[in-house]
Chain A
Amino acid sequence: MSIEKAYILLSIALFLIGLLGVIVRKNLITILVSTELMLNGINLTLVVADKVIGAVHGQIMAFFVLTVAAAEVAIGLGLVVAIFRLKGYEGSSEITHLRD
């Protein structure tokens, strides 16, 4: 097994751990942190693919993933704070109505 395959297995494990966090965590903020873990796993795959084929395009895609992650965290945390301020909700099990 080459080292690149080992790194790809590591990134798959990281992505699935992030998915597990999105499924099982109760707090909205920690759910957002778990999505960041998933994005990190994707970045690792892109960089390893770069090393395999000997190009730089994967790193540029990872750069755009980083940009989108920064935008996502600004919007997502703004939404969490707005949900908390308007409804007083903080857990993912409390949000059961789209509108009431």
Chain B
Amino acid sequence: MEWLIFAVLGTWLIVSALGVVFVKNPVHSILFFLSSLLAMAGIFISLGAELLAGLQLVIYAVAIVVFYVLVITTIPWEKVKRFEGFYGKELTMSAPALVVLFLLMAYMVLKGEFAKPVGVVKDNLREVGKALFTSYLFPFEVASVILLVAMVGAILLGRREEG
């Protein structure tokens, strides 16, 4: 059963990821990205990470995708049309190198062994919340500072220069 879920979601994920890279139109590319995010949320649920699946849907599939589409609407379309698609020469150069890299990593994963399990997680959501607000409290606060700095930077970059 879990192999069936893996096959369906994995095929969906890889097909939409290839669509992100190889489709011509940038808006279609973002739609393929949305499709790959949905597949990824399904994989997270099947792996037992429900909180992360929900965050994936809320943060990525809603906020980030809408942000990309809004930015595309601010740029004139003729200008985008001049630079759609991908470079052919770079593709023929880099695709074999990446395939070899994948084969090397796959050999490493298939031959290697995983670490021994250290425990059993019963209630995933409760455990994540407990760890996030006790031992990871300081990184959690730093994450909020990162978001604040990003907001200030985005406002600074998007502001019109006066004078």
Q: Which residues of A contact B (CB under 8 A)?
A: 1, 3-10, 12-14, 16-21, 23-27, 29-30, 32-34, 36-37, 40, 43-44, 47-48, 50-57, 59-60, 62-64, 66-75, 77-82, 84, 88, 90-94
Q: How far is the CA of A47 from the CA of B45 in the complex (A)?
A: 10
State whether A51 touches B48 (Cβ < 8 A).
yes
Please indicate the chain A residues that have their CB under 8 angstroms from the CB of B131 in the complex.
56-57, 60
Is B8's CB within 8 Å of the partner chain A? no
Q: Which residues of B contact A (CB under 8 A)?
A: 2-3, 6, 10, 13-14, 17-18, 20-21, 26, 29-30, 33, 36-37, 40, 43-44, 47-49, 51-52, 55-56, 59-60, 63-64, 67-68, 71-72, 74-75, 79-80, 82-87, 90-91, 94-95, 98, 101-102, 105-106, 109-110, 114-121, 124, 127-128, 131-132, 136, 139, 143, 146-147, 149-151, 153-154, 157-158
State whether A77 touches B147 (Cβ < 8 A).
no
Please indicate the chain B residues that have their CB under 8 angstroms from the CB of A24 in the complex.
21, 86-87, 90-91, 94
Given known contacts A74-B153, A84-B75, is B10 in contact with A10 (CB within 8 Å)? Answer: yes
CB distance from A50 to the nearest CB of B (A): 7
Given known contacts A33-B20, A34-B20, A56-B127, is B158 in contact with A14 (CB within 8 Å)? Answer: no
State whether A4 touches B114 (Cβ < 8 A).
yes
Q: How many A-B residue pairs have CB under 8 A?
A: 218
Chain B residue with minimal CB distance to A72? B150
9 pairs, CB–CB < 8 Å, chain A vs chain B: A13-B14, A24-B86, A29-B68, A30-B20, A48-B47, A66-B52, A69-B64, A78-B153, A93-B83
